[in-house]
Structures are given as C-alpha cells and as structure tokens.
Structure 1
Amino acid sequence: MKALILIDYTNDFVATDGALITGEAGQKIEAELVALTQQFVAQEDLLVFAVDGHDQNDNYHPENKLFPPHNLIGTTGRALYGQLNQVYQAIKNLPQVYWLDKRHYSSFSGTDLDSRLRERGIQEIHLAGVCTDICVLHTAIDAYNLGYQIVIHAHAVASFDPIGHDWALRHFKETLGATIIM
C-alpha cells in the first residue's frame, strides 16, 4: 500500500483571486491532481489532503511575518480549488481518504501523519500540490528523515517561483533520492 499526499491545493494558493497564489502554474496542474486522486481511489490506497490552516488572530505564527494572511480557517480561501474540490466532496467519506489540518510547511510537523502511515504499513509516499519549494519540499524532507520512499509527480506540483520549483525538483532527486515521475 502507498499514500498520495495532496498538499495545499486551495483557493488561496491557486485561484486568481487567492491570497498567496501560484497563479497559472498552479492552475495548470489541476487535471493531473484530479487524475492522481482518482487513480489512488481506484487502487484503494491512502489519500491525504494536507491543508494549511491559520487562525486570523494568531499573531505568533512565524508565517505571519513572511506572507499575507492565507488559508484562514472558516474561509473559502481554504477550500480545495476547482475540480479537486468536487472530487473530494464525492470521496471524502471513503475509509482511505483523510483530511489533515496542518499549521506548518511540512505535513508531518505537529500532525499525526507519520502514525497514520505507519499504522497502515505505508513505506512509499507520493507527493503532489503546492508550493513545490515550500510545503511540498518540507514534507519531502521530513518524509526522507522518517525513512519513507518518496515519489514526486513533477506535473502535479507547482510554485509561484519557477527557479525555486526547478531547484526543488533537483533537490528531491539528488539529495533526497526521490523518484521523479515526469
């Protein structure tokens, strides 16, 4: 069994009017994310929707100094973007689908993700979503440090920084030993 971790594919990161958008780069991966989601559902593998969630009144979170408010709990900005939201609504009650609230870049930081993966005997994780060089990267680094085999779907990750995106793809392969699916 393996797991697909879909990271932060929300309105605030992807929609044209989002708070901190990847823009066209993020919008272009929508069909690939939908296809991956459907593939993992059909295989009955674990699907994790790892979604950043911030409290508007939290003045202490370090991201508040770096980025404008985004993915605020209770707002439409935190909803999954486009067709992925429609697919999620249709599958969210399946036993292999898990919504993971996260507060930090990494999907592992301060969450029960590692426990959930280990309970199911999962050793291989597939990563997709945004931003390649921030949340996807930090999740991959933690996965590497925890001993998981990492697969990155290059056509299913995006960033608002093309240089950072390319650097992260090289880092995944050359430093973390990840398999990159083109």
Structure 2
Amino acid sequence: MPTALISIDYTRDFVADDGKLTAGVPAQAVSDSIARVTQAAFDAGHYIFFAIDAHQENDPFHPESRLFPPHNLNGTAGRGLYGKLAAFYAAHQADSRVFWRDKTRYSAFAGTDLDLRLRERKVDTVILTGVLTDICVLHTAVDAYNLGYSIEVETTAVAALSEENHRFALNHMQNVLGATLLSGLEKI
C-alpha cells in the first residue's frame, strides 16, 4: 500500500529566530534532516503532504488565540516553509504527488480533507515530520491512529520546545498509539 509523508508546520514562524512562535534551536537543528527525509520519501515514490497552520489575524473565536501569540497568519512570510524544505517545495509543488493543505487546528486531519486525499490514494501508512513534536505532530498522530493509519515518526525530523516535551510525545506515540519511531531514513 502507498505511504505518505506529512510535513507539519515547518514554517518560518515556528522555526526562524524571528518567528512569531518559534521553537528556535531545536527546530533549526532538524532542518537538514527534514529536507533529506522528505526528498528520500519523494524519491521512494511516496506522497508528500505539507500540513501548514493558517490563521486569521485577530480571530477571537480560535482557541489558540487564548494560548499563543498570533502566528502563521494568512498572507505573511511566517507561513513560508523554512530552510531547505522551502527549496524542495518550490522544486516539486507542481508534481502530482505533492500537496499543500492549510489547517487551523493542531491536527493535520482536523477540519481538512487530508483523510479523504489519503484514502483516495489508498495510503495506509503515514510518516510524520515537523514541529512541534508534542503539539501538532502528536495531535496528528492521535487522529491518524483513530482513523486506522499505521504511523511512523522520523525522530530526526521532529522537534519540540523542550527535550522533556519531545521525549514525552515520542514515548506516547510509540507506546500508546503504536507508532514506529524511525531514525535517519532507515525505512524510507
């Protein structure tokens, strides 16, 4: 069955030093790996889905507005992919295996057509990459689990604000959701 790599929120606002909600150094440290893993998945024939936060400025109804500063606002440079991942997307965005999906909640599945697009392509396994391991990546993994997908997490291509949160999320995904933790392209 086909596989899809889901790249979650690896944008300037979450990664760059001047990002609106940056994870900073931990997220920057996985920049080369996330680009390599994405390219390897593409070269292996997998589908690539970019699941990217898309928020409206001054939206008082969005639950995140009470928790975090405005980030990934539509029409801003903060929504742009960070580092070499931006170059990958620029080079391959017209390919029929590469997709961009805006999301407005933590999970890449919540309120999007991601599940439909994966099922149309007979995908049964998702490889998760991106930020933050303990928020958007974890919530995407929970929804993938509830929807019946096999889950793989590329540990060299995810990051959190703290090592403690990162380890908690990886442990939860492995031991509660049955995710396979990959390290450095071992299965792609």
- Assess same fold via TM > 0.5: yes
- Structure 1: gaps (5+ residues): none
Q: CA deviation at 1:163?
A: 1.2
Structure 1 match to 2:83: 82
Q: CA deviation at 1:42?
A: 1.1
Structure 2 match to 1:41: 42
Tell me, in whole angstroms, the C-alpha distance in 2 between the residues paired with 1:23 and 1:160. 8
TM-score, normalising length from structure 1?
A: 0.98
Residue 51 of structure 2 aligns with an amino acid whose one-letter code is: A
Q: CA deviation at 1:152?
A: 0.4
SS in 2 for 1:67: coil
SS in 1 for 2:122: coil
Moved over 3 A (4+): none
Q: CA deviation at 1:44?
A: 2.1
SS in 2 for 1:125: strand
- Number of matched residues? 182
- Structure 2: gaps (5+ residues): 184-188
Q: CA deviation at 1:59?
A: 1.4
Matching of residue 22 in structure 1 with residue 23 in structure 2 = yes
Q: CA deviation at 1:161?
A: 2.4
Query: Where does 1:27-106 land on structure 2 (aligned, <5 Å)?
Result: 27-106=28-107
Query: Where does 1:153-168 land on structure 2 (aligned, <5 Å)?
Result: 153-168=154-169
SS in 1 for 2:5: strand
Q: CA deviation at 1:48?
A: 0.2
TM-score, normalising length from structure 2?
A: 0.95
* Alignment deviations for residues 47-90 of structure 1 (CA, whole Å, 9 cap, x no partner): 00000010003111000000000000000011000111111101
